[in-house]
């Protein structure tokens, strides 16, 4: 498992699922069932990512919009490219557009963004609350870099591909985000 | 191994993943095996949506470059028609070197045609190439001139400004329609704005006899640049049909 892989996510080499890129190839060839497989494989995780990006109310709509964009713009998928960064590029674009058009869903008084996908919930509820609140205070660029790295298990290379940035730019964003996150969560360390 | 077996195996190993959860959301028997709430939390989209997406997915795939190529052809046709209709011909009146004049015209032609394909390509760096072409075009307009002022008064040249704006209306509208089919990107929108307004620049390259640089800057390049920025602002206001890069 890569460092930073989310809780509960394990590789499934045992029964060797068809790679995303092959499914996408089949989808581009007109096989709609390949799209279903991609959807089933990624929908929950995209939803979890979008929840952390924009909050729960709009995350569901944006998940749908993300996959609708995959379908509508499948001709824009560059053959030979990796599918996951492309998918998350779409999700990130949708989230950024949402954040630009509407005010970000405000955290509650306790600094919490309510409800999080089960697979991304940290085992300690107090820590989960604090992390949610701290994430909500990060600038969008730092938040998406951290969410993709820490919660989606992306490498910096994959994040760079998804966000259309250089790898070093992504590292700078993530580093700044982690520093800020650490500062925001510093009180937790003092309490324990 | 079918999805039911896969879920059971992962459940026993404590290694449930999103694929299992999504399966459980459609399979009550498997959902009953999961810890309370797990299936619901991991199944954000219902089967009805999946069916709707699959209907959309069954439509044939068309190459991404089809519409940009059509825009390029339309720009070319519009420029050719305008050059044909408008007189006089600067090519005869200008005393600037022919190679420079032709070079600038070719770059402008490239901007208005190939620029459409570059600006709307799915590869991230290609819109930057369209912007580079736009920069070359601006330089070409300023360099391929004899510097002679043809208008008695500076403001008489304002007809060139009107020409740039009027000739950009159709290409810009079409370009915006194509821009909403991809995720908002200021660079891409700027490239589309500049290539659309480039039709006017190309036509004036053959039509305008005023070679004074202040005239070129104020009545050719300024409206061209303003239309580029307008494309970014307009695209920002429009809704997005697809968020693909």
Residue B20 CB contacts under 8 Å (≥ 6 apart), including other chains: B3, B6, B7, B10, B11, B30
Are B182 and B245 in contact by the 8 Å Cβ rule? The answer is: yes
- Please list, residue by residue across B157-167, b when 16 or more beta carbons sit within 10 angstroms of its beta carbon and e when fewer do: beebbebbbeb
Are A73 and B242 within 8 A, CB to CB? yes
Distance from CA of B51 to the nearest CA of A (A): 9
Residues of A in contact with B18 (CB under 8 A): 9, 41-45, 119
Nearest to A73 by CA among B53, B66, B181, B69: B181
Q: Do A119 and B122 touch (CB under 8 A)?
A: no
A73 CB neighbours in chain B (<8 A) are 64, 181-182, 242, 244
Instruction: Tell me the C-alpha distance between B76 and B105, whole Å.
Output: 12
A83: nearest Cα among A43, A147, A38: A38
Calculate mean pLDDT across residues B10-28.
65
Angle at A79 between CA A74 and CA A82, to 5 degrees: 90
Average pLDDT, chain B: 84
**In 3D, which of A142, A126, A168 has the Cα closest to residue A52?**
A142
Provide the number of CB pairs (under 8 Å) joining chain A to chain B: 134
Quickly state the pLDDT bin for B128 (edges 50, 70, 90): very high
Half-sphere exposure of A79 (CA within 13 A, CB side): 8
Distance CA A63, CA B11 (A): 26
CB B50 within 8 Å of CB B72: no
A98 CB within 8 Å of a chain B CB: no
Please report, to the nearest 10 degrees, the dihedral formed by the alpha carbons of residues A68, A71, A74, A80 taken in order: 90
CA B124 to chain A, closest CA, distance in angstroms equals 7
Cβ–Cβ under 8 Å, residues B215 and B157 = yes
Residue A4 to residue A10: CA distance in whole angstroms = 12
Residues 6+ apart with CB under 8 A from A175: none
CATH topology for A18-191 is Rna Polymerase Sigma Factor; Chain: A (1.10.1740)
Determine whether the interchain pair B245/A89 forms a contact, defined as Cβ–Cβ distance below 8 Å.
yes
Does A69 contact chain B (CB < 8 Å)? yes
Question: How far is CA A88 from its chain centroid?
Answer: 7
Max intra-chain CA distance, chain B:
89
**Residue A94 near chain B (CB below 8 Å):** yes
Q: pLDDT tens string for chain A (192 positions)?
A: 333 344 344 444 445 678 999 999 998 888 888 888 898 899 889 998 998 888 888 888 899 999 999 998 999 999 889 999 999 999 999 999 988 877 544 444 444 443 444 445 555 667 777 777 888 888 888 998 999 998 888 889 889 988 888 889 999 999 999 888 888 887 765 555
Residue of A nearest to B2 (CA): A15
Unique residue bearing structure tokens 């929908």? A43
- Cβ-in-10-Å burial (0-12, 13-18, 19+) of B26 comes to middle
The sign one gets for the Cα dihedral A125, A128, A132, A137 is: positive
For residue B112, is pLDDT > 90? yes
- The alpha carbon dihedral of B60, B66, B71, B76 has a sign of negative
The domain limits of chain A are: 18-191
pLDDT score at A34? 86
**Cα(B24)–Cα(B71) distance, integer angstroms:** 47
B interface test, pick of A71, A91, A97, A116 with most B CB neighbours within 10 Å = A71
A151 vs B contacts (CB less than 8 Å) = none
| Confidence at residue A119, expressed as pLDDT on a 0 to 100 scale | 46
Q: How far is A191 from chain B (nearest CA, A)?
A: 31
- List the single residue in B with minimal CA-CA distance to A15: B1
Q: Which residues, in sequence order, are CB contacts of A76 under 8 Å at separation 6+?
A: B64, B122, B182, B244, B245
Give the per-residue pLDDT at A166: 87
Partner B, chain A 119-148, Cβ-Cβ below 8 Å: 119
Distance from CA of A74 to the nearest CA of B (A): 7
Extract the tokens encoding B25: 């959301």
Token digits for A192? Answer: 């324990």
Which of A9, A74, A94 faces B243 most closely, judged by CB atoms? A94
- How close is the nearest chain A Cα to the Cα of B35, in Å? 11
Tokens, residue A13: 């080499």
Binary contact (A76, B122; C-beta < 8 A): yes
Report pLDDT digits (tens) over B190-232.
Answer: 999 999 999 999 999 888 888 888 999 999 999 999 999 999 9
Q: List CB contacts of B9: < 8 A, sequence separation 6 or more.
A: B1
């Amino acid at each position: 498992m890569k460092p930073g892989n989310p809780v509960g996510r394990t590789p499934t080499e045992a029964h060797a699922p068809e790679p995303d890129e092959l499914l996408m190839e089949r989808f581009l060839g007109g096989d709609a069932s390949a799209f279903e497989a991609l959807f089933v494989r990624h929908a929950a995780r995209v939803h979890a990512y979008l929840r952390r990006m924009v909050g729960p109310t709009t995350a569901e709509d944006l998940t749908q919009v993300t996959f609708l964009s995959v379908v509508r713009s499948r001709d824009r998928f560059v053959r030979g490219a990796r599918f996951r960064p492309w998918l998350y590029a779409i999700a990130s674009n949708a989230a950024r557009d949402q954040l630009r058009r509407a005010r970000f869903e405000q955290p509650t008084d306790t600094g919490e963004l309510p409800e999080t996908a089960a697979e991304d919930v940290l085992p300690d509820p107090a820590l989960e609350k604090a992390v949610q609140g701290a994430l909500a205070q990060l600038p969008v660029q730092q938040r998406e870099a951290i969410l993709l790295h820490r919660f989606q298990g992306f490498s910096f290379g994959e994040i760079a591909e998804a966000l259309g940035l250089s790898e070093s730019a992504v590292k700078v964003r993530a580093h700044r985000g982690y520093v800020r996150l650490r500062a925001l969560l510093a009180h937790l360390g003092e309490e324990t | 191994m079918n999805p039911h077996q896969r879920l059971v195996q992962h459940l026993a190993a404590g290694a449930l993943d999103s694929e299992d959860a999504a399966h459980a959301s459609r399979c009550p028997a498997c959902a009953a095996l999961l810890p309370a709430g797990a299936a619901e939390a991991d199944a954000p989209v219902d089967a009805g949506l999946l069916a709707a997406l699959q209907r959309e997915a069954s439509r044939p795939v068309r190459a991404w470059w089809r519409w940009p190529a059509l825009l390029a052809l339309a720009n070319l046709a519009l420029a050719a028609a305008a050059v044909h209709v408008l007189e006089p011909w600067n090519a005869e009146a200008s005393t600037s070197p022919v190679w420079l004049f032709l070079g600038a015209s070719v770059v402008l032609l490239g901007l208005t045609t190939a620029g459409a394909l570059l600006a709307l390509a799915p590869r991230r760096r290609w819109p930057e190439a369209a912007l580079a072409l736009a920069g070359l075009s601006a330089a070409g307009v300023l360099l391929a001139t004899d510097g002679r002022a043809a208008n008695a008064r500076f403001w008489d040249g304002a007809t060139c400004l009107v020409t740039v704006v009027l000739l950009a209306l159709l290409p810009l509208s079409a370009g915006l329609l194509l821009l909403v089919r991809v995720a908002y990107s200021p660079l891409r929108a700027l490239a589309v704005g500049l290539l659309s307004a480039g039709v006017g620049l190309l036509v004036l390259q053959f039509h305008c006899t005023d070679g004074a640089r202040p005239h070129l800057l104020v009545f050719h390049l300024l409206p061209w640049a303003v239309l580029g920025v307008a494309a970014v602002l307009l695209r920002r206001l429009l809704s997005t049909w697809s968020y693909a890069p």
